[in-house]
Structure 1
Amino acid sequence: MNKESANNNIGKPNIVYVFADQWRRQAVGFRNEDPVLTPNIDAFAKDSLIFDHAVSCTPLCSPHRAALMTGTYPQTNGVFTNCKIGADIALRADDIGIGDVLKQAGYKTGYIGKWHLDLPEQNVTDHPVSGARGWDAYTPPGPKRHGFDYWYSYGTYDEHLTPHYWQDTPDMIQVNQWSVEHETDMAVAFLERSADVEQEPFALFVSWNPPHSPFDQVPDQYKKMYENMDIHWRPNVRAEGLAAHTGEPIEDGIENLQRYMRDYCAAVTGLDEQFGRILKKLKELGLEENTLIVLSSDHGELMGAHGLMAKHSWHEESIGIPCLMKWPERIHAGRTDLLFNSVDIMPTLLGLAGLEVPSTVEGSDYSRAVLGLETTPDQPAFLCAFPGRKDVMEQFAAQGLDNKRFGWRGVRTSKYTYVVHRGYSAVDPNFCLRLLYDLEEDPYQLNPLLLQRASQHPIAQQLNTELQEWLVRMDDPFEL
C-alpha cells in the first residue's frame, strides 16, 4: 500500500496513543449514556475528532492488540484468542508492527503498560526466571517488542492495585500503586525526557488495564464518588442469570450488577484524571501543538446488556470503543461517522505521520478523511470471534472439529449489523443463528430479525455477500 502522504510538507507529529482495556464507547460523560464523570475527557472531546462508530474487529484483548499493532485480522496474524495458558498464541516476531515502522522512520518509541501479545512463559516452563505466572509474560528486548525501544510493560496481570512490570531484564519490578496512576507517572517521565531531544519525534503508547475486571480494584477516592449513584440502566440490561462467553466468574442479580457498574464508572473517572495529567504535561512542555493524541480502548464491556458480562459478543456494548483524535491545526474538531475498525488504526496513524503503509496491512488508511481532505468513505467494518476458551477448544478437538470454523462472523455498517453465529460449543456442529439488526430503529439491539437464509431479506443478502467475499480474502473456513 504505497500511498501518498496525507500531510505533505508537514513535519512528522509526535504520537501519544492511550488506550484502556474493556472500556466501552458508552462510558464517557459527553455521550450522556453511562452515568460516568469524565471532565478531562469531555473537555478534550470539544477540541477533538470524535469517532462515533469506532469498533473492535474481535472484541477480546489480544486479538484487538494484534490488529492494532499490525493492521491485520486474526485470520492473518494468528492471534484469534487471548495469549493464555494452554494456547500456542502470540504475535509473531517477524510480523510488521507499527512500532517497527515508526522506529525505522526515526521515531523515539515507547510502550508502557499491558502488552498481552506474547506467549505466557508458563506454557514453556513451570518456573520462569522472570517470576511470570499464569497468562503473564516478560518480553525480552528484541524483535518481539516490535520496534518499541523504551519498554515498561508486562503481559497480562489483573492485580490493579499491586501491579508489576519488566524493563530490559527479567527482574520483576513490583509496585504498590494503582496501575493507571503508576503508568501515567512513567508516561510523564517519558514525555519529559523526550522534550529535551531536538528534531526527533517520539511515539508513546500507553496501555491501561482498568476498567478491566476485577472491577473493585479501584482507589477509594474514586469509589466514594459513586456510592449513591442513581443508575439508569440501558433498556437491554438483564441482571438475572448473568454470564460471560469468556468464562469470567460473575455473580448475578441486580445488587451485584449495581456494584460492578459503580466500580466500573469509578475506574473510568480515575482514567480521566490520569489522562488529564498527560494532557497537562504535553502543554507544559510545549509539545501540544505538534502531537497527535489518540484516546481509545481495545473493546467494550457488556455490563448486563442482553444478560451478558465482559466482551466477545457482537453487541454494541462489546464491539463499540471510544476513539478521539486531536492534532491542533491539522485535525478539525467535530464528529465522524467513519466506521473505524481495529485494523484501520495502524495505517491511519502512519498516514497521518506521512509514512508509507506496509503492503502487509489489511486495514484502510483513513488519514485523508480524518484530515478533511476527502469525504468519509462508506465502507463496512468486518467483525469476527472464535471459540477461544481452553476447555471449549479441547471439546472441539475431541470431536475432530476445527474451532476456527465456529464462533461468529459479522459486518457492521452505519445502519445495520449482520451476524452469523455458529456457536461456541461443539455439542451441535449444525447450529446456526443468523441475525440482522437495524441500529437506527433498534439501537439497543432488542429486536433482531431472525433469518434461516440471508436471501429472506435484501439487506441481509447484500451484507452476506460482502461478508462472504471478506471470508474468501481472509482464507477463513467459516461457512455462512
Structure 2
Amino acid sequence: MTDTMNEPAGLTRKPNIVYVFADQWRRQAAGFRGEDEVMTPNIDAFAAESLVFNHAVSCTPLCSPHRAALMTGTYPQTSGVYTNCKLGADIQLRESDMCIGDALKQSGYATGYIGKWHLDLPEQNVAERPESGAAGWDAYTPPGPKRHGFDFWYSYGTYDEHMTPHYWRDSPEMIQIRQWSVEHETDMALDYLEQRARRREEPFVLFVSWNPPHSPFDQVPDRYKRIYEGRTVKFRPNVRAEGLAAHTGEPFEDGIERLTEYMNDYCAAVTGIDEQFGRLLQKLKELGLADDTLVVLSSDHGELMGAHGLMAKHSWHEESIGIPCLMRWPGHIAAGETDLLFNSVDIMPTLLGLAGLAIPETVEGTDCSGPILGRGGDAPSAAFICTFPGRKDAIEQFAAQGLDNKRYGWRGVRTARYTYVVHRGYSAVDPSFCLRLLYDLQEDPYQMNPLKLQRASQHPVAERLEGQLREWLEAAGDAFIIA
C-alpha cells in the first residue's frame, strides 16, 4: 500500500493523524468566521495556526452518508449508504469496502476510533433483543471487518442522549456513562494519546467523533448554557421562525422565542466542543506530539437553524452542506485560508496523500494533498452534492406508485461561486415535479434569491453546470431523472 514516491518533501516519518469531527456543526458556527455569534477561543487560536477551508462541503448532508464518504472516498451511489443506517432500513457500510482505517493499518499505523460510528446495521433490524442492549438505530460493532481496520474501539452506533451516553469496546457489554458525551470521549482520547506517546516509533491515527451539537440541543452542561442565557440572537437574514420544518421529519416548535432557545443551546454546545478540543491540543503539546501530528477539525454536515424556514440538514443550502475544516501540520501545511473546493469524498484520499500513501483504486474523490502542501496538483473545480428520499413514509409513497425513491430527491453542483440544483422532490405526490435552482453565492450569499428555471438552457451558467451534473450522474451510475 505504501508508495514512498508520494511522500511530501522533507517527510522523514509518517505523520500521526488526529481527525476530530462533530455532528451537525455548521461552517458558520465558529467565532473566527465572524458569522454566528459563538465563542470558540481555542478553535480561533487553532485556526490562526491552520489551513482554513472556506469551501468545505458535505456531499450528502446527512450523518451516515457523509461518514461513508469520509471512510471510503466514494459517493453514496457507490457505497450504498444513501440514507442513515436506521431501524427498518438495510443500510450499512459493506465489510468489503476499502476504508481509510484499513489503508492506514495496512501501512503500519496504530488505529483508534472513539465516539459515534453510525455505519453499522441497527441490531434491532435482525434481533428484537440484542445481547448488547442496543435499541432503535443503535448498534454494537464487534471486532473484525466491520470496524475497518480500527484496533482501539470505544464507540456506539447512534444514540442521542448526550448527558447519559453509552459505548462498547470489544464485547457486547454496554458501558453506561453519566457525563456529557463530548467530555467523556475527550477523556478517552487523552488516555489514548498518552498510550501512543510511549510508542513513538509507530505512527497512529485517531478519529474522534462527537455527537453534539446534534439535537436535542438542550442536552448541554449548564456551565456552557449559562454563557448564552437570556441572549438575544442576531439571526442570519434568511431565517424564518414560523412554520419550521425538517426534511428529516424531526419535529420542531415554531416561533422566534423557541428558535432563540435552540440557537443559544446550539452555541453552548459548540463552546463546549471548543473547550474539549482545547484539551486535546494541550495534551498533544504536553506529550511532545504536536509537531509530528496532522490535526484536522471538521464535521459531517451543518445545521439550518431556521434558514429558509428549515431545521436540521438534508438541504442544498450553505447552512446544511457547509462544514468547517481546519488542518494543522507544523512545518508542512502553511497557515492561512484556501478556496479549494473540498468535498466529503476528498477527505480520505487527501489524508492518505498527506501521509505519503497510495490511494486505493476504489476512491472516487480527489487527493488534494498537493495544493494543500503548496506543491500544485489536482484541485477540484466543482463539488457534487446530493440527497435521496430516505424516510419510511416517503419510500412507501414512491413504492405505491411503482417508483424507485433513489431516482428522486435532489442532485447539484457547488462551485466556488455558484450552487446549481435539480430538485425532484422528497415524496411521490407529484412524480413529474422538477425544479432547477441557480444561486450566485457571490451576489446572494444567503441564497435568498435563486434563479428558478424550467430548462438549463435559459441561463449559460446553469447550462454549463447541468452538463457537468449529467456527466457526474452517468459516471456515478445514478438513475436520477433530470426532466
How far residue 397 of structure 1 moved from its aligned partner, in angstroms, is 1.2
- Counterparts in 2 of 1:9 and 1:442: CA distance versus 1, 3 Å: same
| 1:89-124 deviations in Å (ceiling 9; x for gaps) | 000001000000000000000000000000000000
Q: Where does residue 44 of structure 2 map in the other structure? A: 42
Q: Where does residue 165 of structure 2 map in the other structure? A: 163
Partner amino acid, structure 2, of 1:314: W
Alignment of 1:180-219 (within 5 A): 180-219=182-221
Cα distance in 1 for partners of 2:52, 2:255 equals 35
| 1:292-332 deviations in Å (ceiling 9; x for gaps) | 00000000000000000000000000000000000001000
Cα distance in 2 for partners of 1:48, 1:476 equals 37
Cα distance in 2 for partners of 1:129, 1:395 equals 34
Cα distance in 2 for partners of 1:332, 1:126 equals 52
Partner of 1:436, secondary structure, is strand
Q: Where does residue 401 of structure 2 map in the other structure? A: 399
Partner amino acid, structure 1, of 2:51: L
Partner of 2:266, secondary structure, is helix
**Match among 294, 297, 306 for residue 295 of structure 1:** 297
Partner of 2:205, secondary structure, is strand
Q: Where does residue 229 of structure 1 map in the other structure? A: 231
Partner amino acid, structure 1, of 2:325: C
Cα distance in 2 for partners of 1:378, 1:186 equals 36
Q: Where does residue 8 of structure 2 map in the other structure? A: 7
How far residue 435 of structure 1 moved from its aligned partner, in angstroms, is 0.2
**Match among 333, 337, 340 for residue 339 of structure 2:** 337
Partner of 1:240, secondary structure, is coil
Partner amino acid, structure 2, of 1:163: P
**Match among 325, 348, 353 for residue 327 of structure 2:** 325
User: TM-score, normalised on structure 2?
Assistant: 0.98
Q: Where does residue 429 of structure 2 map in the other structure? A: 427
| 1:424-449 deviations in Å (ceiling 9; x for gaps) | 01111000110000000000000000
Cα distance in 1 for partners of 2:387, 2:459 equals 24
Give ranges in structure 2 of 5+ residues lacking alignment: none
Cα distance in 1 for partners of 2:420, 2:68 equals 24
Alignment of 1:27-426 (within 5 A): 27-374=29-376, 377-426=379-428
Contact preservation (8 Å) 1:2, 1:358: no
Cα distance in 2 for partners of 1:56, 1:282 equals 28
| 1:99-158 deviations in Å (ceiling 9; x for gaps) | 000000000000000000000000001100000000000000000000000000000000
Q: 4+ residue stretches of structure 1 with deviation over 2 A?
A: 1-4, 375-378
| 1:39-94 deviations in Å (ceiling 9; x for gaps) | 00000000000000000000000000000000000000000000001110000001
| 1:328-381 deviations in Å (ceiling 9; x for gaps) | 010000000000000000000000000000000000000010001117725100
Partner amino acid, structure 1, of 2:99: G
Cα distance in 2 for partners of 1:379, 1:149 equals 36
How far residue 6 of structure 1 moved from its aligned partner, in angstroms, is 4.6
Contact preservation (8 Å) 1:6, 1:368: no
Cα distance in 2 for partners of 1:146, 1:347 equals 16
How far residue 467 of structure 1 moved from its aligned partner, in angstroms, is 0.3
Give ranges in structure 1 of 5+ residues lacking alignment: none
Partner of 2:297, secondary structure, is strand
Cα distance in 1 for partners of 2:262, 2:445 equals 23
- Counterparts in 2 of 1:369 and 1:161: CA distance versus 1, 3 Å: same
Q: Where does residue 459 of structure 1 map in the other structure? A: 461
How far residue 9 of structure 1 moved from its aligned partner, in angstroms, is 5.1
Contact preservation (8 Å) 1:54, 1:322: yes
Cα distance in 2 for partners of 1:59, 1:377 equals 22
| 1:141-179 deviations in Å (ceiling 9; x for gaps) | 000000000000000000000000000000000000000
User: TM-score, normalised on structure 1?
Assistant: 0.99
- Counterparts in 2 of 1:317 and 1:111: CA distance versus 1, 3 Å: same
How far residue 8 of structure 1 moved from its aligned partner, in angstroms, is 4.4
How far residue 390 of structure 1 moved from its aligned partner, in angstroms, is 1.2
Cα distance in 1 for partners of 2:34, 2:74 equals 33
Cα distance in 2 for partners of 1:443, 1:297 equals 21
Cα distance in 1 for partners of 2:396, 2:90 equals 13
Partner of 2:101, secondary structure, is helix
How far residue 398 of structure 1 moved from its aligned partner, in angstroms, is 1.6
Contact preservation (8 Å) 2:367, 2:378: no
Q: Where does residue 470 of structure 2 map in the other structure? A: 468
Contact preservation (8 Å) 2:366, 2:378: no
Contact preservation (8 Å) 2:368, 2:377: no
Cα distance in 1 for partners of 2:271, 2:72 equals 30
Contact preservation (8 Å) 1:8, 1:354: no
Contact preservation (8 Å) 2:30, 2:40: yes
Contact preservation (8 Å) 1:240, 1:252: yes
- Counterparts in 2 of 1:378 and 1:106: CA distance versus 1, 3 Å: closer
How far residue 279 of structure 1 moved from its aligned partner, in angstroms, is 0.1
How far residue 410 of structure 1 moved from its aligned partner, in angstroms, is 0.2
Cα distance in 1 for partners of 2:399, 2:429 equals 12
Partner amino acid, structure 2, of 1:5: N
Partner amino acid, structure 1, of 2:275: E
Partner amino acid, structure 2, of 1:316: E
Contact preservation (8 Å) 2:57, 2:322: yes
Partner of 1:44, secondary structure, is helix
Paired-residue identity, %:
75
Contact preservation (8 Å) 2:138, 2:159: yes
Cα distance in 2 for partners of 1:324, 1:464 equals 30
Contact preservation (8 Å) 2:366, 2:380: no
What is the total number of aligned residue pairs between the two structures?
480
How far residue 230 of structure 1 moved from its aligned partner, in angstroms, is 2.8
Partner amino acid, structure 2, of 1:171: E
